[in-house]
Amino acid sequence: MKEKIKYTDEPMGKVKVIPDFLPSPEELALKDETVKVTIALSKTSVAFFKKEAQKYNTQYQKMIRRLLDEYTARQ
C-alpha cells in the first residue's frame, strides 16, 4: 500500500491563478457536423497520411480532415 500523503497548513508561496481554457464536457461530447465527399488523392499523399496516422495511432482520414479544417479556418 502506498504511503499516505500528509497535508500541512504551511504557506504555499506565490500562487498564480490562470483562466479556465479547457472546453466544457458538453463541447467535448459534441461531434463536428460532417459531410461525406468523394475525392481523388495521389497515392503519395495517401501513403504519407497513412504512415503518419500509424505513428500517432489515429485515422488518416481524420488527419486529412483536420488539415483542411485548419487551412480553411486561417483563410
- Give the cell for residue 26: 458538453
Domain boundaries, the chain: 33-73
Distance (Å, whole) CA 35 – CA 68: 13
% helix / strand / coil in the chain, to the nearest 5?
45, 0, 55
pLDDT > 80? residue 49: yes
pTM, rounded to two decimals: 0.58
Q: Quick count: other Cβ atoms within 10 Å of Cβ 44?
A: 8
Judged against a pLDDT cut of 90, whether residue 52 lies above it is answered with yes
Tell me how far apart the alpha carbons of residues 23 and 43 are, in angstroms, rounded to a whole number.
37
Cα separation, 69 vs 15, in Å, equals 37
Mean pLDDT of the chain: 87
Residue 13 has pLDDT above 90, yes or no: no
pLDDT at 75 over 70: yes
pLDDT of residue 27 exceeding 80: no
